[in-house]
Amino acid sequence: MGRSSRMSHAVHHDPTVPRGALIGAAAVLIFTMSLTGATKLGWLPHSADPSASRAAQNVAPAQTRLLRFADREDGAVVVSDATSGEEIQVVGFGQGGFLRATMRRLAKARIAAGIGSTPPFELTLWENGALSLRDPETGRDVEIHGFGADHSKIFADMLRGTDA
């Protein structure tokens, strides 16, 4: 076999990005920056702040409960009513991933601020159906309803037995 019968396996690729893709990316970038600028300048409302939105719409709490979360030696998390001391729920070791992750995030903020685990957290069901967990000590809020119905139910069940 001679040299001429060999096939070249080298393929030439054009390294340039198609013009349409560049124009599209630039348009998305300009649009995003314009919306951000308009919000920062006050031309568009800051709608991502649920607390401010509830205050502006005069949405009141429908139910509230002060809660304490404590770790047990066996790895379980004990949820209790901070006012009565009543044990509301025990989340076994390896269970309740969403609850554990939520509380871990809030606990980190407390540790950073030098706050212990004694002050209670405030769980609130709002008139509009939203559910939030607030740490009055750090001012941190978690909008539980934003994580879906299954996760909301875990916390909503902790409100059972409270008066509206």
Q: How far is CA 89 from CA 13, 53, 97, 131, 159, in A?
A: 62, 31, 14, 18, 11
164 alpha-carbon distance from chain centroid: 26
d(CA 40, CA 56): 19
Integer-rounded Cα Rg, in Å, for the chain is 26
Alpha helices in the chain, H assignment, sequence order: 19-40, 50-56, 97-112, 149-156
- Tens digit of pLDDT at every position of the chain (164 positions): 555 555 556 666 777 888 899 899 999 999 999 988 888 888 877 666 777 788 888 888 999 999 999 888 898 889 999 999 999 989 888 888 888 888 888 989 998 999 988 899 999 999 998 899 999 999 898 998 878 888 888 889 899 876 65
pLDDT at 50: 79
